[in-house]
Every structure is written in structure tokens, then in C-alpha cells.
Amino acid sequence: MTVIAQGRKRVDLGRTTFIYGESRYLLTSVDLPIVSQIVEASEAEPCLAMSLKLEMLVIRELLSREEIQVAEAPSDSPAMAPGEATLEFLSAGSWTCWIPHWTFPF
């Protein structure tokens, strides 16, 4: 899972494109062959993001909590989905280790 705090990122998975930015996340359930790039960043406002690798047990625990609403995914959807990083979403994961994985200072 990657959460963007500032800036915007584009991720291409085959013919599907995900563009996500501030207060949004992109979650993938498996390693996928993607092409990604930063599409909004500057020296004054760099792209700031953190990437978390969560174990499936942790994800199941987070999704089982009442405060996280999960929409039913269509059967033909890719193994990747964007979403809003709400306060409830971030609070539910606050007991996990949230270490920034990478940032892009441009």
C-alpha cells in the first residue's frame, strides 16, 4: 500500500491507469508488473509518500473492523485499487509500524 501525502503519482497496469494524490492510497494484493511515475511535484512541494508492506493477516484484521467500509469489488477488477486515506483508515492502522519507505524531493 502506498499513501500520498503531497503530490500526485500515476501507475499503469496494462491498460488500466491509476492517478492518485494527496490523502489517497493505492493498495495492491500481489506484486504486479506496473509502470509508475510522479506527475505532480516541484522543489517547493516535493512528492511525499510512504509505502507499506502489510502481511495478509494484518490486512484482514484492518478490514474486519467496523470503522472501515469496504466496497464490493467487481469480479473483473484488477488486483489493485485506489481509495481515500481517511482519518478512520489511518487510525485503524495506527497500531502498525508506519515507517516512510520513500520520498521524492524534486
CA 89 – CA 37 distance, rounded (Å): 25
In one-letter notation, the amino acid at residue 70 is: V
Percent of the chain with pLDDT over 70: 70
Domain locations in the chain as residue ranges: 2-104
What is the per-residue pLDDT across 45-96, written as a single tens digit (0 to 9) for each?
A: 999 888 877 777 877 777 677 655 656 656 666 778 788 887 776 666 555 5
DSSP per residue, 38-93: EEE--SSS-EEEEE----HHHHHHHHHSTT---PPPPTT--SEEEEE--HHHHHHT
Say yes or no to pLDDT of 106 above 60. no
Give the separation between CA 59 and CA 39, rounded to whole angstroms. 28
Cβ atoms of 89 and 83 within 8 Å: the answer is yes
